[in-house]
Structure 1
Amino acid sequence: MPSTTTRLNYKHFLPLQTRWADNDIYGHVNNVAYYGYFDTIVNEYLIGARALDIHEGDVIGLVIETGCKYFAPLEFPQKLEGALRVAHIGNSSVRYELAIFKAGENTPAAEGHFVHVYVDRETRRPVRLPDGFRAALEKLT
Structure 2
Amino acid sequence: MNTREHIVSLVKSRRGVSFSKLKGCTDAGNGTIQYHINKSDELERKRDAVVHKQRCRECPLRQYCSRKCIVKLLENKSRRRVVAKRTEGKSYSEIADEVGIDKSTVSYHLSHLPDVNQQGFQKCLQGLSVLED
- TM-score tier by shorter-chain length is under 0.3
Which structure dedicates a bigger proportion of its chain to helix? 2
TM-score by length of 2: 0.25
TM-score when normalising by structure 1: 0.24
